[in-house]
Every structure is written in structure tokens, then in C-alpha cells.
Structure 1
Amino acid sequence: MLRIGTWRSAESLDVVVCAWRDSGPGHLETGIKLIYGMGRPVPELPGLRTGSRVARGAEEIAEALSQGLDVVITAPGCCPAAPVVAAGMWHYGWTRGDVGALAGATVAGLVLAAQRGPCSAEIWRDGRSSLDGDVTTTTVRDYLAARFSGGRYRTPEVTVPLESVHLSQEAPTRILISPFAATH
């Protein structure tokens, strides 16, 4: 499973942290990857490989992660869901043919990016996700409705129809986003 989180405060950077722990057979791997928005200062991170090229979308972020970079810098105006979609592409090997998984990660990424405080998401191989933080289905649904122009959200990888987004409140601070239909 892929776990992604953000932390935000007046003094901090908007950072997405991707940590993973595979439960499949074979070698267990854990690690952390950082994705920073360009224009923000990147602190000295001794021992971590930082990219010199600015990634402009999910596919470029995923490619940088696949090349072994630990820290990736994203372009201003990059889709707010791109880091989560990229993490799924890198970790699970998703391609443009995995529209359901890409759509689920897109919704999770949009919701994660909108949170004002610390929040984390777990993303499964099929695109299902859960969000933990100060979240309710009502506020998430309202936020998504405002972001989905004409009832759809388009990225270079996938188009997600708002009516196909299924949210359920699993606990006071936990929302489940179920798989749903999408198109290219």
C-alpha cells in the first residue's frame, strides 16, 4: 500500500511525503520520497538525491521517482493531484490504461491538496483510497463540486466525472474514496 501525507503550517513548505510498505511476497521495502512545489526553498537534505529538472506533471514526477530521485521539484501551476497520481504510477506501475486507479488517485490528490493542516491518504493498487485528517464527506463533496468544471475534472492522464465519486465517512476523521468510472 502507498501512504502519502502533507503537513502545513505558516512556517512550513507544502510537501507531499510518499512512504510505502509492500505486503506482497519477497523483500519488504520502506522509504520516503519528497515532492516540493517550485518557488519554495528546498532545505539541505544531505544524502538524498534531489532532481535538478522541474517536473511539470504526474508523468514527469513519476519518471523522476523511477530514476531514483528522493526529492522532486514541481512546476508552478502543476495539477494539485499530480504528486499523488505520480506516486501511484511510480509505485504500482500504473499506465494511462489504468483509468480507474488514476481516477481514484486524482480525487485523493485533489482532496489531500485542499487540506489546510496535516492529512494523509492511503492509496491501494486499484485506486481506492482513504483520507485521515480534518475531513468530512460534506466538505470534501463541496470542494470537489467547486473544482469539477462542468461536472468533470480533466488531467493529461484521465477525466473523472463528479457523479462517479463515491465517498463514505468511515470514522470522524477518516473518509473512504471508492473506485469509480473514468475516461481518457
Structure 2
Amino acid sequence: MLRIGTWGTAESADVVACGWRDTGPGLVRTGVKLIYSATGRVPELPGLRIATPVANGAEEIARALFQGLDVVLTAPDCCPAAPVVAAGMWHYGWTRGDLGALAGATVAGLALAAQPGPCVMEVHRDGHSFLDGDVTAAAVRACLAARFSGGRYRTPEVTVPLDSVHLSQEAPTRILIAPCAVTP
């Protein structure tokens, strides 16, 4: 399973830290990767390999992760879902053919980016996810609806219809984001 968390504090850059352990088939990749928005302040990170140039989109972020870099900086106008989609591409080996998983990761990334405080997202191989933090399904749905122009959210990888997004409150601080339908 892939775990992604945010600091969600005003004084930090928009940080996404990815730590994972996968029990699935194939090569297991473990560790922590940091994805920072280039608009924020990046702290001194001695010993870590930082990607240059700045990545603009999920495929560029994933490419840097595949190269073994520890820290990736994203462009200020990068899609807010891109870090989660890229982490899934790197961790699970998703390609453009994995439309359902990419759609689920897109919704997970948008939900994670909309959270005002620290939280954690678990993204599974098929694209379904769980958001843990000070969250409600209604609040996440409202944040997502604001981002879906014309009822759809488009990325270079997928287009996700808003009506395919299904959220459920699993516990007071846990939301399930079910797998989503997708338009290629």
C-alpha cells in the first residue's frame, strides 16, 4: 500500500511525503520521497538527492522518482493531484493504460491537496483510497466539486467525471474514496 501525507501548515511548503511498503507481487520499493511545490521554502536536506529541473506534471515527477531522486520540486501551476498520481505510477508501475487507478489517484490527490491540516492518504493498487485526518465526506465532496469544471476534471493522463466519485465516511476521521469511472 502507498501512504502519502501532508504537513498542511501555513509555514511549510506544500509538502507531500510518500512512505510505503507493498505486499503485492513484483519488486518491493520502500523509502520516503518528498515532493515540494517550488513556490514554497525547501528546507536544507543534507544527503538527499534533489531533482532538477522543476517537474511539471505527474509523468515528470514519476520520472524523477524512477531515477532514484529523494526530493522532487514541482512547478507552481502543477496539477494538485500530480504528486499522488506520480507516486502511484512509481510505486505500482501504473502506465497510461491503468485508467481506473489513475482516475482514483487523481481524486485522491485533489482531496489530499484540499485539506487544511495534516492528513494521510492510503492509495491502493486499484486506485481506491482512504483519507485520514480531520475530515468529513461532505467537506471533501464540496472541495472536489469546486475543482471539477463542467462536471469533469482533466489531466494529461485521464478525465474523471464528478458523478463517478463516490465517498463514504468509514469512521469519524476516515473517508473511503471508491474507484472511479474514467474517460480516456
Q: TM-score range by the shorter chain?
A: over 0.9
Which amino acid in structure 2 is aligned with residue 15 of structure 1? V
Alignment-derived partner of residue 54 in structure 1? 54
Structure 1 gaps of 5+ residues are: none
Tell me whether 20-29 or 128-137 shows the greater mean CA deviation. Answer: 20-29
Task: Tell me the distance in 2 between the aligned counterparts of 1:178 and 1:11.
Answer: 32
Give 3-state SS (helix, strand or coil) of 1:5's partner: strand
Which moved further from structure 2: 18-27 or 96-105? 18-27
Counterpart of 1:180 in structure 2: which amino acid?
A: C
Counterpart code for 1:163: D
Whole-angstrom distance in 2 between the partners of 1:52 and 1:75: 11
Partner of 1:13: 13
Alpha-carbon distance in structure 1 between the residues aligned to 2:98 and 2:24 = 20
Cα displacement (A) at 1:85: 0.3
RMSD of the TM alignment (CA)? 1.3
**Cα shift readout 1:108-138 (whole Å, capped 9, x = no counterpart):** 0001000000011000000010000111111
Percent identity reads 77
Partner of 1:92: 92
Moved more, 126-135 or 2-11: 2-11
Q: Give the CA deviation at 1:26.
A: 7.7
Instruction: Kindly provide the CA deviation profile for residues 23-68 of structure 1, in whole angstroms up to 9, marking residues without a partner as x.
Output: 2368765310000001222111111111121100000000000000
| Matched residues, number | 184
Mean CA deviation greater in 41-50 or 108-117:
41-50
Q: Could you tell me the TM-score, scaled by structure 1's length?
A: 0.96
| Residues 1:57 and 1:26: Cα distance change in structure 2 (over 3 Å) | closer
Structure with the larger strand share: 1
Give the Cα–Cα distance (whole angstroms) in 2 for the partners of residues 172 and 117 of structure 1: 16
Q: What stretches of structure 1 move > 4 A for 4+ residues in a row?
A: 25-29
Matched, 1:139 2:168: no
- Provide the TM-score with structure 2 as the length reference: 0.96
1:183 corresponds in structure 2 to 183
* Cα separation, 2, equivalents of 1:146 and 1:125: 27
What residue identity is the alignment partner of 2:87? A
CA distance in 2, matches of 1:86, 1:41: 21
Structure 2 unaligned blocks of 5 or more: none
Going from structure 1 to structure 2, the CA distance change for 1:180 and 1:9 (only over 3 Å counts) comes to: closer
Q: For 1:28 and 1:62, locate their aligned partners in 2 and report how far apart those are by CA, in whole Å.
A: 16
